[in-house]
Amino acid sequence: MALFLGLVIFSFIITAVAVVPFIDFLYRLRFIRQDESVALDPGDSVAYKLIHKQHSHKIGTPIGGGVLIIGVVAILFALVFPLMSRLGVYISSSFSIKQELNVIFFTFGSFGLLGLYDDILKIFGFKKTGFFGLRVRHKLVIQLLIALAAAALLYFNLKIDIINIPFWGILRLGWLYIPFAALVIVFFANAFDFTDGLDGLSCGVLLICLLAFWALTLFSLDTPLSTFIALWIGSLIAFLYFNVHPARLWLGNAGGLAFGATLAIVGLLLGKIVALVVIGGIFVVELMSSFLQIVYFKSTKGKRLFPIAPLHHWLQLLGWSESKIVMRAWLAAIMLALFGIWLAQL
């Protein structure tokens, strides 16, 4: 345990040292949040336009914290993990360590690259395309392809085809595990991305989720996954210092997609899908509020189920301050994490 706590502190220090020069670098690149209100049209709801107005002060904030965290975690892991075995640290896992690391970093990196490409288009491509970022259908197709590849690695290389359902037991899916796992990965990639709309909201909730899953990996004696999560937690804490209200650095889609997809991979590796849904319950609620809004809008030919979605924007319209929404989401995430850990033990 002392080793993993040391890794958290080490990752925190490295990220904390790197983050201010990185912010300056993003300013020089002009890699900053754009004024997306120029893309509004007369058909957009009053609530949607009001939220854009409330967030206008965030225009010009650097975007790219996800790239920094992905880079720091990947580099530190590549340096630390081989050193651990050379120093005599006992490495244990239920899987082939090489194959386990392949699926973790494939997901972490590939979704990060997709999100980075989306960020680049969003920041520099609007004048050419008239649209901020990738089209939703294009992004979903690419996400699904990457997720299917990650799911195939889980199924063929790690031989995972089961999920643990509390009060029921083990459910073996066979080859159906591949589409199931792919949908879980895509779901959480987008759920996290949808939640990343207020300062400190998504990453604060993610930190709580990671602490819960870190405890589960320590129980299961999965050294590679415990090491990866420890480094991720440390880097995330340093980033959060600059991301809480008022944010000096935003995560961007690179982090949004990568973090959500990799959180799903952690749950899939542990076989704790129900615990994943509960521990990541804030992300689930955020995405489902948007999904229900879209379905209702299309089925009723223009009517809205909620004034605006996702949920955090609706709470803003009700008069909740940004900090109040974030703090209460963190408190809810803590209780969901405790409940999820309990369920995972059943």
How many CB atoms are located within 10 Å of the residue 335 CB?
A: 11
Q: Which domain holds residue 175?
A: 2-344
The confidence score (pLDDT) of residue 308 equals: 87
Tokens of 291: 């999904």
The confidence score (pLDDT) of residue 222 equals: 93
Compute the distance between CA of residue 243 and CA of residue 22 in angstroms, rounded to an integer. Answer: 14
Tokens of 159: 């031989």
Q: Quick one: pLDDT band at residue 130, thresholds 50, 70, 90?
A: low
Q: What percent of the chain has pLDDT over 70?
A: 93
- Measure the CA dihedral 39/283/20/55, to 10°: 30
Most confident range (mean pLDDT) of 12-21, 29-38, 164-173 is: 12-21
Compute the distance between CA of residue 152 and CA of residue 157 in angstroms, rounded to an integer. Answer: 8
The confidence score (pLDDT) of residue 85 equals: 83
Compute the distance between CA of residue 185 and CA of residue 257 in angstroms, rounded to an integer. Answer: 10
What helix, strand, coil percent values describe the chain, rounded to 5?
75, 5, 20
Number of domains in the chain: 1
Would the pLDDT of 239 be above 80?
yes
- Which residues partner with 172 through β-bridges? 162
Q: What is the mean pLDDT of the chain?
A: 92
Using the structure block, give the residue that is written with the tokens 């690391």: 101
The confidence score (pLDDT) of residue 346 equals: 82
Would the pLDDT of 77 be above 60?
yes
Which residue would you say has higher pLDDT here, 155 or 135? 155
Least confident segment among 65-74, 113-122, 131-140: 131-140
Compute the distance between CA of residue 19 and CA of residue 1 in angstroms, rounded to an integer. Answer: 27
Q: What average pLDDT score do residues 3-30 get?
A: 97
Task: List pLDDT tens digits, range 20-66.
Answer: 999 999 999 999 988 766 555 555 565 666 766 777 778 899 999 99
How many CB atoms are located within 10 Å of the residue 216 CB?
A: 22
Most confident range (mean pLDDT) of 9-23, 121-135, 212-226 is: 9-23
Full-model pTM: 0.96
Q: What average pLDDT score do residues 158-169 get?
A: 91
The confidence score (pLDDT) of residue 45 equals: 61
Which residue would you say has higher pLDDT here, 218 or 249? 249
